[in-house]
Chains A and B, each alone.
Chain A
Amino acid sequence: MKIKVVYFASLREESKLSEESIELESGKSVADLYELLKQKHNFSLDISKVKMAINDEYVDVNSELKDGNEVVFIPPVAGG
């Protein structure tokens, strides 16, 4: 399946990408995807510090991905 990943803030800087497309075998969770990308891009943030969104909605880290999903990993937010 094909997943679009969009990066913001520290993850955008560390990956040097705004977005990328990832080919993934089915049955993988959004957490699996983060661990894979953490290794690929050497992300400094541990998974426990990152929230996840699929198609602009916050989801549980164990949520299963589906073909065509757009994933955003959310580093600790700091609005205000």
Chain B
Amino acid sequence: MNNFHIYETKEEASEFKSTFEDSKEYSRTGAKVLFEGIVRNHNELRDDVEKLFYESHKEMAIKEVSKIFDELKEEFDILHIEGYHMTGMLEVRDIAVVIIAYSEHRADAFYAAKKAMDLIKERAPIWKKESYKEEKSKWINH
């Protein structure tokens, strides 16, 4: 079973719930770190971002992030890590990505959640197109 999901609608995302919390192993958890990436109204260069369009190579993104999760389980003492990324048109204040890491002690869950996001940004085939108030939308290609 994959622990990373690509959702196309907010309805799908609203039903997201980590199955780990129903497992026996969850009783070992002492720390749960939830990261939510939110669509903000600005980037480094401008402050009129209105919307973001995310596109993914779904199969490859799921496969690549599952690999990332496996690497993190080797590197950190985490019990479980799971998450999702939205695709399609999102507005400012919407949730774009969610990562949840579980560990016995807090440090590993914090570090693993942070590194998961660093690696997703670097490796997952997910693309972002920004829409602005005053200008044509453009793909973020840097």
The interface of chain A, by Cβ under 8 A from chain B, is 6, 8-10, 13, 45, 49, 53, 56, 58, 72, 74-80
Contact = CB atoms under 8 A, between A and B. Distances in A.
Nearest to B62: A56
Interface in B37-61: 37, 54-57, 59-61
B57 A8 contact: yes
Interface residues of B, number: 28
Nearest to A13: B139
30 contacts: A6-B57, A8-B56, A9-B55, A9-B127, A9-B129, A9-B139, A10-B127, A10-B139, A45-B141, A53-B60, A56-B60, A72-B125, A74-B57, A75-B139, A76-B141, A76-B142, A77-B121, A77-B124, A77-B125, A77-B127, A78-B121, A78-B126, A78-B127, A78-B141, A79-B54, A79-B120, A80-B37, A80-B85, A80-B121, A80-B126
Contacts, number: 69
Contacts of A78: 121, 126-128, 139-141
Nearest to B59: A56
Contact of A56 (B63, B129, B139, B142): B63
A38 to B, nearest CB: 14
Given A76-B141, A77-B121, A80-B120, A8 B55 contact: yes
> Which are the 3 A-B pairs with shortest beta-carbon distances?
A79-B126, A9-B127, A78-B128
Interface of B: 37, 54-57, 59-61, 63-64, 85, 96-97, 117, 120-129, 139-142
A74 B64 CA distance: 13
A77 B126 contact: yes
Contact of A72 (B60, B117, B120, B139): B60
B52 to A, nearest CB: 9
